[in-house]
Amino acid sequence: MKFKLFNIREDEKPYAYQWGQSNGHEIECTEEDLTLNNVHTLSSFDGVSTQQLFKFDDRIYEALKDVGIKQIAGRAAGFDMFNLTEAAKHDLKITNIPSYSPNAIAEFAVCRALELVRNINKINKKVERQDFTWDGTVIATELRNMTVLVIGVGRIGKVSAQLFKGFGAEVIGYDPYDQSLRDIEYVQSLQEGLSKADLITLHVPANEETTHIINEETIKYMKNGAYLVNTARGATVNTNDVIQALNSGKLHSVALDVYENEFAYFSYDYKDKEIEDPTLKELMSRDDVLISPHIAFYTYTAVQNMVEISLDSALEVITTGYSENEVQLSKV
């Protein structure tokens, strides 16, 4: 069989070619996005894998069916770039990777939380100015004296909770669907959790229920001077409301590995280009914001798993019509 991987990076290619060699299949890689302009190139292929961050054109699903493709294997946990209803209309199965390395993202979330709590960004900027003084702008709280709210206690949230507990923090969780982690307290409402937490970390998918789960209204329930970490999806946070909360002091500082308008910028090189998004520019300029380009997942283990699991899922759909990683409409 022949498989084509779109949006491929150099670090992914060895794992893709190794999978093809081990399983006796032909692999072709391209850095291009999958679009209506190149879908015709798939007429001689059996399987497709992508890692596209922005939404597909709804016409792509019919076009894929017309060239004989039965599936799209996403190389990510998120699936908000797909229109599952349109895919189903054209008998296309969409797969994702529910768990490629929960530790990768959880470790990054805790790392960023520590940077916020210890005022690392502010310390670095003081040192750049050759200001080596100690003052109230950089004095810190210790994690062991804090209550951490984990919003979304699934695979990643569970690891995150356990890591925070390892630092001695009191950890509480909010998850209406999964309360199986035994060694933390669960709150029964988001408002209750926000009112108790010194630090909030997000680990939820992007869907109708979680879009802008952090907004002007929910921020009102937070303690004054709370910390926020988002390594989930950009759509879960209303960025303008967060900026207002930083300006007022309601939020002490935030770490954003994702941004709701990230698709034009994250994963691209903008060294010699102008960033035209004023909100992103403001986030980058603030010393109470840590911004990173959707990179929490990025470890050797995660990259290997994302490539191999996506191709395994594609093969399963093609040969059996089923994959345990198929994204069902009921998940949205």
**Which residues are the active-site residues?**
233, 262, 294
Angle at 14 between CA 11 and CA 19, to 5 degrees: 130
DSSP states of 243-265: HHHHHHTSEEEEEES--TTGGGT
Tokens of 87: 């895919």
Contact 64, 41 (CB under 8 A): no
Q: How far is CA 79 from CA 7, 75, 112, 114, 186, in A?
A: 15, 9, 25, 29, 27
Tokens of 80: 């908000």
Cα(56)–Cα(211) distance, rounded to whole angstroms? Answer: 19
Contact 87, 64 (CB under 8 A): no
Q: What are phi and psi of 164, to 5 degrees?
A: -65, -40
Contact 87, 65 (CB under 8 A): no
Q: Tell me the longest C-alpha to C-alpha distance in the chain.
A: 67
Cα(74)–Cα(86) distance, rounded to whole angstroms? Answer: 16
Question: Of 228, 210, 203, 207, nearest to 289 (Cα)?
Answer: 228
